[in-house]
Amino acid sequence: MSVRRVLASLLALALVAPPLLLGMLSVARQWRWPALWPTAWQVQQWHEVAGDLTGAGMMGALARSLALALTVAVVATALGLPTSRRVAGLPRRGAWLTALHLPYALSPVVLAVGLLFAFLHLHLAGHLLGVLLAQLVFAYAYAVILLSALWTPRVAALEDLASTLGARRLQVWWRVLVPVARPMLAVCLFQTFLISWFDYALVRLIGQGEVQTLTIRLFEYFTSGDLRLAATCALILMTPPLVTLLVHRAVPPSLLAPQAGSSHE
């Protein structure tokens, strides 16, 4: 067996083993050393998840996490596109892009403590809106940085051409810039979704224990020693990103490819 095949097998094992381990933990009733497999099985924790329709349990945390992540992704991407165009046209573009890296240069905990001081005075701490605004600080900066690579001389030429042909400002955006930016917008939506979806520090500090998301529930189950519910929560936490990736792979490339030619119609 070649070295490449060995490395590929090890990589595949490293990718598959964690979900399999979490899956077995989520349905294990007894699993004691030195047994390689659980000696008893149960699905009670999954029944609890399926039957939990309250806001305090795992289903409530799932709904809250989804709503929060989707809102952050849409708002950050929608604001990041025009902002990135504005930044791209500034004389000192590099300095502005460097400044946008500051939220990531600092520790999220340090920045969250600073935001918490302001949010306490604004009565936003302990509320979902406060967590949303705190996550937008990171997601919005990331969206601007990512989308700033869109504004190339070719895009500027397409924009000038559309304006010369009589297109109004809104038409230039809707018929030229948005179609050209479609692939990067899809990436930006996915990445900013993940920023919110896997966030723990901001939810913990800004939410003040009042905003329950899946990451908060996961750490609570883990610290309390309930590894079965922790594994169940971890599997649920992994599902939306994996589903999104599978859907993205199933979408024909033509749907995401820039449609510059149609913008001149």
Residue 146 has pLDDT above 90, yes or no: yes
* Token representation of residue 158: 């397409």
Residue ranges covered by each domain of the chain: 67-264
Residue for token digits 């099985």? 41
Residue 52 has pLDDT above 70, yes or no: no
Residue 262, pLDDT score: 46
Residue 56, pLDDT score: 55
- Three-class SS of the chain: CCHHHHHHHHHHHHHHHHHHHHHHHHCEEECCCCCCCCCEECCHHHHHHHHCCCCCCHHHHHHHHHHHHHHHHHHHHHHHHHHHHHHHCCCCHHHHHHHHCHHHHCCHHHHHHHHHHHHHHCCCCCCHHHHHHHHHHHHHHHHHHHHHHHCCHHHHHHHHHHHHCCCCHHHHHHHHHHHHHHHHHHHHHHHHHHHHHCCCHHHHHHHCCCCCCHHHHHHHHHHCCCHHHHHHHHHHHHHHHHHHHHHHHHCCHHHHCCCCHHHHC
* Token representation of residue 228: 């079965």
Residue 55 has pLDDT above 70, yes or no: no
Query: What is the CATH code for 67-264?
Result: 1.10.3720.10
Query: 190-228: per-residue pLDDT in tens?
Result: 999 999 999 998 999 999 888 989 999 889 888 887 788
- Looking at per-residue pLDDT, the higher value among 25 and 67 belongs to 67
Q: If pLDDT is split at 50, 70 and 90, which confidence band does 51 have?
A: low
Check: CB of residue 244 under 8 Å from CB of residue 190. Answer: yes
Q: If pLDDT is split at 50, 70 and 90, which confidence band does 257 have?
A: low
C-alpha 21/C-alpha 24 separation (Å) is 5
Residue 60, pLDDT score: 84
Burial class (CB in 10 A: 0-12, 13-18, 19+), 140: buried
Q: If pLDDT is split at 50, 70 and 90, which confidence band does 256 have?
A: low
Residue 265, pLDDT score: 41
- Work out the angle at residue 92's Cα, subtended by the Cα atoms of residues 87 and 93, and round it to the nearest 5 degrees: 35
Check: CB of residue 130 under 8 Å from CB of residue 124. Answer: yes
Query: 185-199: per-residue pLDDT in tens?
Result: 989 999 999 999 999
C-alpha 66/C-alpha 120 separation (Å) is 25
Q: If pLDDT is split at 50, 70 and 90, which confidence band does 232 have?
A: confident
Residue 263, pLDDT score: 40
Mean pLDDT, the chain, integer:
83
pTM for the full predicted model: 0.82
Residue 258, pLDDT score: 56
> In this predicted structure, which of 37-41, 70-74, 254-258 has the lowest mean pLDDT?
254-258
Residue 35, pLDDT score: 67
Residue 75 has pLDDT above 90, yes or no: yes
Per the DSSP assignment, residues forming a β-bridge with 41 are 28
